[in-house]
Amino acid sequence: AYALCDIAKKPEVNAMADTAAATFGRVDIAINTTGWGLLASLEEITDEQLDQIVDLQFKGVHHFLQAFVRVMGAQSPTGGSLISLSSATTKAIITNHAAYIGTKRGAEALIECVANDYGHLGIKANTVSPAFTDSPMTHESFQVPGLTDAFLPRYPMGRLNTVDDVAHACLWLSTDNAYVTGANIQPNGGLIMRGNPQAHDVAAAVGAAMARLQG
């Protein structure tokens, strides 16, 4: 079963939550994975882009949490597990992502508030923060020569994180074995200890790769 919705539209999010509850009888796990990797400096971003990213990455998450707190709260005391995907960039700042990082941090704060306010209903709420991950959404970027060269040295564990790393973190948080709430899990191989590469690092790595290809 499935239901389509625009996360920026509260009635549609509520309808999705109600459809899930009606279809399955209860909702034990709800995971928000929405995001927009807007690459724009603070000076470049337009009012339209700012409205769009706030609607998607802050207001949309608020709608999502409201809807599923309502559904899971009705299941008290067993509640459920709420998870929102954020980004390692909220801890490891990267160039030209101010609106992206600002709204993702705001969503992290919402998760912490839900964890604090609704734990007594058996609801746990956590954030999962991957770094530069090859996925259908980002795969085209991974084809840019030299781009991954800028990121790889930043991972103490020696490889970029994968969608499986992220999925397994979410799976664990969804089990009764995870006595965890209000946390920000970082399945990114330690990148936040070294930090993301900045624009000049990426430009240098891409330039070097292009020079090798042309030589």
Write out pLDDT tens, residues 23-61: 999 999 999 999 998 999 999 999 999 999 999 999 999
Residues of the chain with pLDDT under 50: none
Q: What is the pLDDT of residue 37?
A: 87
Interatomic CA distance for residues 68 and 62, integer angstroms: 10
Sheet holding 184-185, edge to edge: 29-32, 80-85, 123-128, 184-185
For residue 151, which of 205, 113, 193 has the smallest C-alpha distance?
205
Q: What is the pLDDT of residue 22?
A: 95
Interatomic CA distance for residues 152 and 201, integer angstroms: 12
State the chain's mean pLDDT as an integer.
Answer: 94
Q: What is the pLDDT of residue 209?
A: 84
Write out pLDDT tens, residues 152-169: 999 999 999 899 999 999
Q: What is the pLDDT of residue 144?
A: 87
Q: What domains are defined for the chain?
A: 10-135+160-194 (3.40.50.720)
Interatomic CA distance for residues 39 and 125, integer angstroms: 28
β-sheet bridge partners, residue 84? 32, 127
pTM, entire model: 0.93
- Please state the φ and ψ torsions of residue 80, each to the nearest 5 degrees: 175, -175
